[in-house]
Chain A
Amino acid sequence: KNQVEQSPQSLIILEGKNCTLQCNYTVSPFSNLRWYKQDTGRGPVSLTIMTFSENTKSNGRYTATLDADTKQSSLHITASQLSDSASYICVVKAGTYKYIFGTGTRLKVLA
């Protein structure tokens, strides 16, 4: 069964601190993996994409990693800001129009 599991479920950190979100997947076939950010009351927006051959990719203060052997990905947020408070969803593309969604990690950044 195709599955995407994320941890932790929720996380509270102080502004300026770093954090790492985890995503484990068992999806076949694997096309790519994206991290989406979903602000409260809004739709998800793509942050970064990882393909099978990529290990690390950065987008500003966001750095995603992918280990295709262990089927794990992480999203590292550096120097967190209040605006980083959101849910972060790991999504694996499993075909032309098939996407497997994780349940998300809810991040709260406190001043």
Chain B
Amino acid sequence: NAGVTQTPKFRVLKTGQSMTLLCAQDMNHEYMYWYRQDPGMGLRLIHYSVGEGTTAKGEVPDGYNVSRLKKQNFLLGLESAAPSQTSVYFCASSYLGTGVTGELFFGEGSRLTVL
């Protein structure tokens, strides 16, 4: 099983450029999340989705947009990249159901550098 797949794994951008990170999961999970991981900080939630066609803001949403047109895909967009967005981005998914424990399944991460 592929689980959660993120593309690209590495990207270098110049300030002001735009890009999209793609996350795909094959576990039929309802919930999907985008986190960023910075040195010395815990993972921080950027945006999340509780189902196809729905998205919501997390704790650090500024400068990012997301879309979930299909249940298995969750896209994270940077419209005008800034050096402060240099980070490692993780996509995760979890299953919705009564009594479930909400384990997060993570992708391998996408390392983004903004010059």
Q: Do A and B come from one complex?
A: yes
Chain A, interface residues (CB within 8 Å), range = 20 to 34
B40→A103 contact, CB < 8 A: yes
| B92 and chain A: residue at smallest CB distance | A43
| A91 and chain B: residue at smallest CB distance | B104
The digit string for A39-81, where 1 denotes a CB below 8 A from any CB of B, is: 0011111100101000000000000000000000000000000
B102→A93 contact, CB < 8 A: yes
**What is the bound-complex CA distance between A101 and B106, given in angstroms?**
14
A99 and B104 contact, Cβ closer than 8 Å, known pairs A43-B4, A89-B42: yes
| Chain A interface (Cβ < 8 Å from any Cβ of B) | 4, 31-32, 34, 36, 41-46, 49, 51, 89, 91, 93, 96-97, 99-104
| Chain B interface (Cβ < 8 Å from any Cβ of A) | 4, 31, 33, 40-45, 48, 50, 90, 92, 94, 96, 101-104, 106-109
